[in-house]
Amino acid sequence: MLTWKQAISGEIWRIKWQLYGYCRLSRDEDKENYASIEEQKRIIQDYANSCNWTVSDFYIDDNVSGYTFNRPEFTKMMERVKGGKVDVVIAKDLSRIGRNNGRVLVLIDEFKNMQKNLILVSEMGGTYDVLNDRDDTIGITTWFNERYVKDCSRKTRDHMYSKQKSGRLIMGNYYGYIKETLKEIENIDGIFSSSDLIAAQVIQVCNELNIRIPQDIKLIGFDDVEIAKLTTPTITTIHQPIKEMAKLAIELVDSKYKNIEVNEQTILPIELVVRNSTK
């Protein structure tokens, strides 16, 4: 049976083994120790070149938390590892693989049991090789990685609460999902967002990817909140009758309180507000 140490020497390694890089970034978790996707790829590629190895391709999860292991590209990669189509995975460090202490330790054992290698270029003061290096202190590293993401989560909650108290705008971060969709699906010529806030993030991603709105993609939002008038281009959107909805909601609650029968469904008129994102 061919061992890992035999395989990494000479031409037999290049014939027998498939090597892939894995990169992950979360803009919420990695603010203090930021390494862009391109920087991670460079680190992996430089390490592979120094060993005279060839990286077949990269699996990349952009703006995805390391605490969850339900990541699109990571899942694809692990399916191929378990299917025998990937022999070696190289990542910048262990936090790129994940920030869930228990799950990461189980994953390391899985690599060992499958005799597949996981190489972390910048870990434990050097390079950590799962199949060949001692890992007496690896549990400490994974514990600190999980503690870090939980600390970030607490700080984010405190920050959001502060925004709520002061009445400032709060919007969910769909940046990574939008970017991944626009990269993976070709010939998209229109996007209908479920809110104007998401539509505003679509504009941000499109600017980064050099996609023109409305020339390349038409964009429609929903709600007609103030941000739809402030973006460049301004957002075509569906205007909801907010005041009428609020008034009706109060009337329905009052009727329920007085045991007055109410309609199961009430339809209010909406309006298409055409702006520059579709012109």
CB 89 within 8 A of CB 117: yes
Q: What are phi and psi for residue 172, nearest 5 degrees?
A: -70, 155
Q: In this structure, are strands 190-192 and 126-129 parallel, antiparallel, or unpaired?
A: unpaired
Q: What are phi and psi for residue 236, nearest 5 degrees?
A: -65, 135
Closest-CA residue to 213 (of 223, 197, 201)? 201
pLDDT of residue 131: 85
pLDDT of residue 139: 63
Integer CA distances (angstroms), 65 to 13, 91, 122, 179, 210, in order: 33, 16, 20, 15, 26
Report the chain's mean pLDDT, rounded to a whole number: 81
pLDDT of residue 1: 41
Give the span between the Cα atoms of 86 and 117, in whole angstroms: 9
Beta bridge partners of 71: none
The pLDDT tens digits for 51-67 are 999 999 999 998 888 88
Whether 12 has a pLDDT exceeding 50, the answer reads: no
Q: For 238-265, what is the mean pLDDT?
A: 87
Give the span between the Cα atoms of 136 and 39, in whole angstroms: 29
Rg over CA atoms, the chain: 25
The pLDDT tens digits for 126-168 are 788 888 876 666 766 666 666 655 555 555 555 555 555 555 5
pLDDT of residue 63: 85
Whether 215 has a pLDDT exceeding 50, the answer reads: yes
The pLDDT tens digits for 19-53 are 999 999 886 555 444 568 888 999 999 999 999 99
Give the span between the Cα atoms of 237 and 219, in whole angstroms: 8
pLDDT interval class at 216 (50, 70, 90): very high
Closest-CA residue to 116 (of 91, 74, 87, 93)? 87
Q: Among residues of the chain, what percentage have pLDDT more than 90?
A: 38
The pLDDT tens digits for 90-128 are 999 888 998 887 888 888 889 999 999 999 998 766 788
